[in-house]
Amino acid sequence: MVYNSFLFIWLFPIIFMVGNNLTVPYRKYFFLIVSYGIYIYYNKWMTLTLIAVSLISYFFAKYLEKNQNKYLEKDQEKDLEKNLRKEQEKNQEKDLRKNLRKDQDKKNCEKETICGKGTICAGVISTILPLVVFKYGHFISENLSSFTDSFGFISDENQFSIIAPLGISFFTFQALSYVFDVYRKKYPAEQNLSNYLTYMAFFPSMIAGPINRYDQLMPQLNTVQGFNRPLAEKGLKMILWGMFLKVVIADRLQLYIDPVFDGFLQESGSSLLMAAILYSIQLYTDFAGYSLMAIGAAATLGYNLKQNFHNPYFSIGITDFWHRWHITLAHWLRDYIYIPLGGSRCSKKRNYANILITFAVSGIWHGANWTFIVWGLLHGLFQVIEKILGLQKKKESKFSSTDIESSSIKPRYISMKNRSIRVARIILTFFLITFLWIFFRMNTIEDAWIVIEKIFTSQDMHFGICEKFIYVFIAIVFIKDLIDEIRPSCNPFYHPKRWVRWATYLFIFTSILLFGVFDAGQFIYARF
């Protein structure tokens, strides 16, 4: 659902009223119908792809579980036979026979493991195939054409061109996590197809994220029923703040930033630097705002989704940044890429390689372009550097809770010296991330280098890009995030004084009406 559209404004109250008056399982069926109805309205290709990925992952997970149960039964039979033989052969070459059985069991186990790995590989390839075709088909075709052209074989560079369905990366990763978890026996495979389709198509988060996990969302879909007032109030506040971030700041900044980057050859270095800084803010307010609206919409219906952002521009390093930015993606990469590769429980060189591979995957996930791959590798490289220099020590945010209402945590004392160092690291990290975003924004690596070169070599000091009032709203976001970081009990949305809360609601709502840019299109990350 496009949350910054008038369709959302008119349709969601109806969904809210009907959904909160239904009980399980009618509630699940209603959300299933609504989800697919919304997707069909926006993009039929997206709907067909979603159904295909859902069916593939559903049946492969069942097949995996069936094979694992078969292997388990074999193991149980072997154990029984083993015990009987132990009793019979207690006094007859006990040690020798035991060693022989161990060797045989080891061989059988290896065969079964190979079979299981082959099955999971087939499931992963089948699940990820639509993503590869739709999102990376043109990229692969283009690079293959360039490669063959270098050997004198002329080919058509535009031989493969197709528009990727919205949110395909999000629901593909969601399906993959389910297949991996069933393979690991974290939970049994879902037997009810409609339940699984509802989990995959749950409309608040499918396009915008966060990337849901089956064991986190499915139990709620099976149990939540009726209206939950505290959670609904929390959700409405999140929608209000998310709408402010999206339509007042992100969509308005886009009007000023895009012309600067599109005409970067004619722009001065100072204008490009200001555009890069504002682009960092645009990305954050766009994606965080959209995620908040998605999480808030789910909360009004009684469902708790995972937090996706936690004041990312107060990070003290690139590693800390990925603990705060797109949290559900970072956790997915950690659980299904980094740890299976060996994580940190291996040699230093292997650990550094694991980090680089993980963030190369992150770059590829974000887009089918070499700029995204370079962007991901640079993020991985800086994390490796932080690890070598010992800057990855446990220096987490004072408030590790993911609940924005958490106010019971008291801020710990930080000395003036440590505070100054922390502020310096925050500023340095922000500018480093800002320069990395340039690769994220530009169409080619060469264009990104030109922009960076102009920023560092230009003598012009003109910084004016957008209207002054937008900086006031940016300052409000900064102050709000700072309050969340150091003293969450003073968050104006949850302030103990009623007049403070209602003054905040009125100000945000009025700002949306007066300065909001509606129907500006999907959020930036939707194309990823």
DSSP element (H, E) containing 511 = helix 498-515
Q: Catalytic: which of 138, 310, 326, 366? A: 366
**Does residue 485 contact residue 398 with C-beta atoms inside 8 Å?**
yes
How far lies 176's CA from each of 27, 173, 190, in Å?
A: 26, 5, 14
HSE at residue 16, side-chain half, CA atoms within 13 A, is: 18
Closest CA to 281 of 454, 476, 439, 425: 476
Q: Long-range contacts made by residues 476-480, C-beta under 8 angstroms, separation at least 24?
A: 477/245, 477/249, 477/281, 477/285
Tokens encoding 398 = 């004072």
Q: In whole angstroms, what is the distance from residue 402 CA to residue 339 CA? A: 23
Q: Cβ contacts of residue 159 below 8 Å, gap of 6+? A: 141, 145
3-state helix, strand, coil in the chain (%, to 5): 70, 0, 30
**Total length of the chain:** 528
DSSP element (H, E) containing 445 = helix 445-457
CA 236 to chain centre: 22
Coil, strand or helix at 373: helix
Nearest-10 crossing angle of helices 44-88, 94-149: 160
Q: In whole angstroms, what is the distance from residue 248 CA to residue 246 CA? A: 6
- End-to-end, the C-alpha distance of the chain in Å comes to 16
The radius of gyration of the chain from alpha carbons, rounded to an integer in Å, stands at 26
Q: In whole angstroms, what is the distance from residue 434 CA to residue 517 CA? A: 24
Residue 366 annotated among the catalytic residues of the structure? yes
CA 200 to chain centre: 15
Look-up of token digits 């980090």: 355
Look-up of token digits 């010992």: 390
Tell me the catalytic residues.
366
